[in-house]
Amino acid sequence: MAKGLAVLMSVLLFVLAAPSKADTQDGPGSSSHGGSAPTHIHFYFHDKITGPSPSAVKVVNPPNNTSLTSFGVMFVMDDPLTEGPDPASKPVGRAQGMYLSADQARIGFLQAMNIVLTVGPYNGSMITVLGSNHINDNIREMPVVGGTGAFRFARGYAQAHTHFLDPNRLDAIVEYNVYVFH
C-alpha cells in the first residue's frame, strides 16, 4: 500500500507541476510558441516641447555647448500616443522615457522609452525600445528590448517616420510601426 501511495503522490505532483495552457500563453498575439508573425502595433507619437503643457522637457543642457548637433542635450518625455496624426484622434497610450543627443557628427538621439498601451487587448502592457534615432533619416529603426504584461520577453523592432516637424519650435508628430515577438 505504501508503494501505491508513493506512486499516486508522484503522479499527483507531476500533474500539479505540469504547466497548463494558460501558463504557457504569453498573451494576445503571442507568437513565442511556433508562430512566425509578430504583433504589429501602429500609432502616432506627439512630442511637444513648447507651450504651456509640454510633453517633453529639457533636463540637461551641457555648458559651453557649441555643437551643431546639440551633443549632450537630454529630454525627458511623457508623450501621448494616438491612432492618427491629429493630436485629437483616439488616444492609445503614452511614450515615457528620455532621449539625448549622442552623436557629434549628425543629429541623432539615444532614445530609451516605454510604450505604455492604455486601450484594447494590450491595455496595461508595455513595450521597451532602446536605440539610435537619427531624426533626419526618413525611416529609423530601433530595437525592442523587452516589455511587460502581454509583451513579457518581447523582442522585435520599432520603425519611426517623422510625419510633421515644426522647424522653429521643434514639436514633432512621429508615426511608429512596432513589430513585436512575445
pLDDT(19) > 50: no
Strands (E), 2-108: 39-47, 56-60, 74-82, 91-101
Average pLDDT over residues 43-50: 97
pLDDT(6) > 50: no
Q: What is the pLDDT at residue 64?
A: 83
d(CA 180, CA 182): 6
Could you write out the DSSP letters of every residue in 113-172?
Answer: EEEEE-SGGGTT-EEEEEEEE-TTSSSEEEEEEEEEGGGTT-EEEEEEEEEEE-TTT--E
pLDDT(58) > 60: yes
pLDDT(48) > 60: yes
- Secondary structure class of 3 (helix, strand, coil): helix
pLDDT(12) > 80: no
**CA gyration radius for the chain?**
22
Average pLDDT over residues 3-18: 38
Q: What is the pLDDT at residue 65?
A: 79
Specify the number of domains making up the chain. Answer: 1
Q: For the segment 146-180, what is each residue's pLDDT rounded down to a tens digit?
A: 999 999 999 999 999 999 999 899 899 999 999 99
132-141 CB burial, b ≥16 within 10 A, e <16: ebebeeeebe
Residue 173 belongs to what H/E stretch? strand 172-181
* CATH label of the domain that carries residue 65: 2.40.480.10
> What domain range is 158 assigned to?
2-181
Q: What is the pLDDT at residue 36?
A: 65
Average pLDDT over residues 21-35: 43
- Secondary structure class of 55 (helix, strand, coil): coil
Could you write out the DSSP letters of every residue in 7-27?
Answer: HHHHHHHHHHHSPPHHHH--S
Q: What is the pLDDT at residue 63?
A: 84
pLDDT(182) > 80: yes
Q: For the segment 89-144, what is each residue's pLDDT rounded down to a tens digit?
A: 999 999 999 999 999 999 999 999 999 999 999 999 999 999 999 999 999 999 99
* β-pairing verdict for 91-101 and 56-60: unpaired
Average pLDDT, rounded, for the chain: 85
